[in-house]
Structure 1
Amino acid sequence: MNIWIIGGLLLLIVFLLVKGIPVNFTKPLGKGAIKLTIGILFLFFFNLFGASFGLHIPINVFTAVIVGLLGVPGIASLTAIHVFLI
């Protein structure tokens, strides 16, 4: 069973080396990864400065995606949820 998985991955790698990675596929993935990274950094700095006020938003995929897509309004909405609901 493992030989089939390894063989399939090697075949995929050879195919991508010969044919090339489609640009239509990698461009949205790159933008999504950048937005996710920016969301994580925003949350990190918010937690760093918000600790003096007793605010903490956990850094996970869900909160990072919200902050990455919405930016500052995303942090504000997560803070409002944290303050008023939790």
Structure 2
Amino acid sequence: MEALFTSLINDLQVVKKDLSADLREVRRNMEELGDRVSVVKDRESRPDKKVERQHQEVLHLQKQHIKLQTHAEDLEDCSQRNNIRIH
């Protein structure tokens, strides 16, 4: 009977070691997947940054267009007041 218990204890220790090794492997795999997810998220955020930068450039150009248009209108008004023709 004692030999049976000793055998069972030894078998349980082997199973415990196997489970510990499997758990370490699962943890390593989870860490690796987490790293991959971080890389993918970083790659995905780059186009968003590029789009945002382009959007800001468009807004800046629109503001510049409005300023130039206003300036052109001011020049035209001034030339009309002074009877100057601008071609």
Q: Same fold (TM over 0.5)?
A: no
Which structure shows the bigger proportion of residues in helix conformation?
Answer: 2
TM bucket normalised to smaller: 0.3 to 0.5
TM-score normalised over the length of structure 2: 0.37
Q: Which has the higher contact order (CA 8 A, sep 6+)?
A: 1
TM-score normalised over the length of structure 1: 0.37
Larger radius of gyration: 2
